[in-house]
Amino acid sequence: GSAVIAAVLVTHNSERWLRATLESIANQTRKPDSIIVIDDNSTDGTMTILAEFGIAPIAATTTSTDITTRIAQNFQQGVRAARDADVVVLGDHDDVWHPTRVERQAALLAPIDASSMQTNSPLLMVASDGTLVDENGNKTGGTLRSNFPVPANWNDLPANKQLAYALKHSVATGGASAIKPAYFAAQEIPDGWLHDRWWSLLATVRLGMLI
């Protein structure tokens, strides 16, 4: 059978962008089997939009007052809710997903034919690029990679070089990444760390980070 895929989003007063995000998920060539939304105390029309798409959000349980820690804990809560999926595709509330995003990332993380794996060890995280847009959806000329550059030969670097780079630079943005929840659901994210930054280090240490 095919892999079970969950999309995990975190919302907070997201009405301005959320409909476009959810429409892009609905229009995927490979639709996620479930969409898990952790809502952090939205007071705008976020709930109404989620209801339009048939999504019942889970209330955030974080009590942290530090915004970075709060975001990370919200995503951790979402991944734990999706721990039975084979793949979790992460999303921010102001993203529009490329139509083949889920299909492509799932094929890399959970290929149907195990012999097609490119690495000696199972991948844990895939980080993709993205086009940066303004609040109206117009391209700003940049990409995620122009903001967070990574060596072009990253996937061929020896483990120690990958880790040395990942310790100093952000190599993955959560909104453009997919992960295997079976591994990450059990991990604690240290206070003050963003989820994507910490998870990319965990994946790199275990030779499981594909860019």
Contact 26, 52 (CB under 8 A): no
What's the 3-state SS for 8-48?
Answer: EEEECCCHHHHHHHHHHHHCCCCCCCEEEEEECCCCCCHHH
Spell out the residues 6+ positions from residue 107 whose beta carbon is closer than 8 angstroms to its own. none
Return the pLDDT at 121.
42
Q: What is the pLDDT along the chain (211 residues), one digit of tens a residue?
A: 688 999 999 999 999 999 999 999 999 999 999 999 999 999 999 999 999 999 999 999 999 999 999 999 999 999 999 999 999 999 999 899 999 999 999 999 987 655 555 443 479 999 998 888 887 778 888 888 888 888 888 889 998 999 998 889 888 888 889 999 999 999 999 999 999 999 999 999 998 999 9
Q: What DSSP string describes 131-157?
A: EEE-TTS-EEEEEHHHHS---TTGGGS
pLDDT value at residue 150: 87
67-81 and 195-205 are packed helices; what angle lies between their axes, rounded to 10 degrees? 60
User: Which H or E run contains 49?
Assistant: helix 46-52
